[in-house]
Amino acid sequence: AIPGKYVIEMEINGKVYSKPFVVGIDPRWEIPESDLIKQFETANIVIDMIEESQDKLSEMRNITSQIRTYIELTKGKDFHNTIKNSGNEIISKIKVIEENLYQSKIETSQDEINYARKWTNHITHLYDRITTDNQAPNDGMMNRLDELRNDYKKFIEPYNTIISKDLKEFTNSLSENGI
């Protein structure tokens, strides 16, 4: 939060309690409030990007799971191979996008050396840099934000096509076959 006066409210059993408080600048920092405001605003842009990407990843995993379920449910039906092939093609396309966004192989800190960093790693590192420094984001940080925003758009545009075209065709195929 940027320095200022705030009020916190809590509702407990239908009763609202409020308490005013003040957020101040860390006295060890010599930073203009305008720099803190820019830092706060930029950090919130990054937070929004991270949250959107996590929502999309969750959605991708949910869609993939549902497609696998439909493939399994159609086993033994004369149209199974059509559903299976169409579904697996969508899953493959989604997997490519997911792999560009998220490094799923990292389990320990040592793994960060062994596996390439992905978009999520880069955007969270940028967030850390923006919020750790006691200064407004510098030009390098802002340029990196633009790069990551453009990369995200490149990864998500094909996903939007999958949703609007491929997934629609898949669900139509299911409907046509009474599923």
112-134 pLDDT, tens digit per residue, is 566 677 788 889 999 999 998 78
Residues 6+ apart with CB under 8 A from 13: none
Give the integer Cα–Cα distance in Å for 141 and 126: 7
CA 80 to chain CA centroid, Å, is 33
User: In whole numbers, what is the pLDDT of the chain averaged over residues?
Assistant: 90
3-state SS assignment for residue 8:
strand
Please state, for a pLDDT cut of 70, what percent of the chain lies above it.
Answer: 92
155-179 pLDDT per residue, tens? 999 999 999 999 999 999 999 988 8
**Which residue has better confidence, 116 or 19?**
19
Predicted TM-score (pTM) of the model is: 0.81
What sections of the chain are H helices per DSSP? 33-73, 80-101, 111-114, 119-132, 139-161, 167-176
Predicted pLDDT at 117: 72
